A and B are shown apart, each in its own frame.
Chain A
């Protein structure tokens, strides 16, 4: 008690700045610092991968029949005569300015390509994780609350199928049934052929662009195209999220504070959602962030089956044609997303867990 009284007396004499602004500023600076360090590390690793690959970047540009003079010219242009560390600094400088070099395949800046393909993946992944979260969490909670009952068994089978079914099979079957036979959804691609480029690309997210332009026909068409692949991706993240939710919930439901809540005379619904669920939010954030990051990486198979021009199929195509600039650019972007999602979930921890403050 003496301690708190002491504090009360001392508080007003301290400058308000040092008390309130400094801790926040310090956290912000530390966070930014850690982002910077991680990013530099990431760029360094991709740079090293680019160097150790047995691909001659000069040959890839000039072709095998070029003269020695042309070869040398390009060699100097690329700065390959400089020490590796200088090359790295140049590369870092470029990356900081979002310049990933020129794609060898189509001779366009890689950054432009990524700006085109990434929104497609972002749109698909976001809708997918939305389905996964909205359906997966209640399913997991339900399975935990009714552990051992038929509800739990059904949830287990649903998740197991989601885990083990190959997506190329499920995707093709989905297309066959819902597009080919029933005609409920749009086919492959982001929009039908009549709607391509009818609205200006503002964000690159077709659903948002069409809504912004107020073109609801195009919006509906785009939605009918995205719904099937997004549901598929959603199903896969649902499988993971619901299983994790179940095990987190089981742990909390056996905790003593749950008994306390029941002793108070609380209804089972509130015991589950107000008490137990509040305690798994932090763990769930990690799981959701990880699934989301996985989807944002671009699920190659889904993108190929649905002719979805996303970052997954972009990187894969680039890799198969030894387009190292595109591969490295894509890798840096994917890595950046992981880092940002991690920081975002760290911030959410602080909101949801008083002990993390």
Chain B
């Protein structure tokens, strides 16, 4: 499989008064035109990994890596100006809650048009037409009205579909979806996922799907990285997740209720301090 993104030995550090806190510790993985899931509990460094790829960690945070290469170009060495043309145009990101990730005082139309025009020379009319097309692609009915509306007039599910439309409009190669359905009602989660899946597949994009929901990731992705305390503890194919070996992954699986194997008591995950010291497993292919 062709490699889109190659991340090698990625560290994210936050210096503080009590020493340096390492949020991500030497993570390595590659991404092809596939759906790669990153699973972990809160604080495991999965979101930080996503943001570090886009170099969005703000100071005082520090990102270090041997390389983050996007089709052979090391993003770590790019000047900020060139990095800006990578963001949006080549790698994009959908965040957790559309209530906060859309600008409340700009119309949805303005925000989508802006995302498109930043990377193209399209006129306003062309960008408007393209935005309507994109909104239709994410199953928004009455897109003309939505273009004029403000984010607070939208429901969560609509908001997230708008985010997806906005982030995919410059036609990037990679989409990082950071808990894209966690803030949504269960009833619309699936719908949003299906739309995202279809667009990513049709365009032959690579998807990094960050989530804390093991079942969802197993269902939805091709390959899964399990992160714990800033490290990758295990890598496996999504359909072979039930064969996972690492005690943390096993613990997570056993603590989930299952419809086909009902149990009276679920296992409680017991953490081993050794897990957070053990070296990160490489997920480079």
A interface residues (Cβ-Cβ under 8 A, vs B):
1, 4, 255-257, 259-267, 275, 278-279, 281, 352-355
Contacts and interface: CB of A to CB of B under 8 A. Distances in A.
A228 B118 CA distance: 45
Contacts of A275: 103, 106
A279 B54 contact: no
Given A256-B97, A354-B150, A267 B84 contact: yes
Which of B56, B92, B105 gathers the greatest number of chain A CB atoms within 10 Å?
B105
B147 interface: no
A281 B100 CA distance: 18
Given A256-B95, A260-B95, A265 B102 contact: no
Contact of B118 (A255, A266, A353): A266
Contacts of A281: 105
Contacts of A353: 105
B118 A352 contact: no
Contact of A263 (B85, B106, B145, B167): B167
B101 interface: yes
A255 B58 CA distance: 13
B88 A263 contact: yes
29 contacts: A1-B141, A255-B100, A256-B95, A256-B101, A257-B100, A257-B103, A259-B51, A259-B95, A259-B101, A260-B102, A260-B103, A262-B54, A262-B87, A263-B92, A263-B167, A264-B92, A264-B114, A264-B167, A265-B84, A265-B87, A265-B88, A265-B89, A265-B118, A278-B105, A279-B103, A279-B104, A354-B150, A355-B104, A355-B150
A275 B118 CA distance: 14
Contacts of A265: 84-89, 118-119, 170
B56 A262 contact: yes
A255 B142 CA distance: 29
* Main DSSP-derived SS at the A contact region: helix
Interface string B105-125: 111000000110011000000
B93 interface: yes
Given A263-B56, A354-B150, A257 B87 contact: no
From A4, A262, A264, A278, name the one whose CB has the most chain B CB atoms within 10 angstroms. Answer: A264
Contact of A354 (B142, B152, B170): B152
Contacts of A354: 104-105, 107, 150, 152
Interface of B: 51, 54, 56, 84-89, 92-93, 95-97, 100-107, 114-115, 118-119, 141-142, 145, 150, 152, 163, 166-167, 170
Contacts of B163: 260
Contacts of B119: 265
Nearest to A260: B101
4 closest cross-chain pairs (CB), A and B: A265-B88, A256-B100, A265-B87, A354-B150
A255 B163 CA distance: 16
A11 to B, nearest CB: 13
A255 B104 CA distance: 11
A119 to B, nearest CB: 36
B152 A263 contact: no
Contacts of A278: 103, 105-106
A264 B87 contact: yes
A278 B110 CA distance: 13
Contacts of B51: 259
Contacts of B114: 264, 266
Given A260-B103, A265-B86, A354-B104, 9 more contacts: A1-B141, A256-B95, A256-B101, A259-B101, A264-B118, A264-B166, A278-B103, A354-B152, A355-B150
A347 B54 CA distance: 41
A257 B87 CA distance: 15
B112 to A, nearest CB: 10
Report which residue of B54, B86, B103, B152 has the largest number of chain A beta carbons within 10 angstroms of its beta carbon. Answer: B103
Contacts of B118: 264-266
A347 B272 CA distance: 60
A4 B87 contact: no
A264 B88 contact: yes
Contacts of B103: 257, 260-261, 275, 278-279
A353 B107 CA distance: 11
A285 to B, nearest CB: 13
A278 B105 CA distance: 7
A261 B100 CA distance: 12
Contacts of A4: 142, 145
Contacts of A264: 87-88, 92, 114-115, 118, 166-167
A275 to B, nearest CB: 5
Nearest to B54: A263
Contacts of A355: 104, 150, 152
Nearest to A278: B105
A355 B142 CA distance: 21
Nearest to A5: B142
Nearest to B145: A4
Contacts of A261: 103
A228 to B, nearest CB: 38
A40 to B, nearest CB: 36
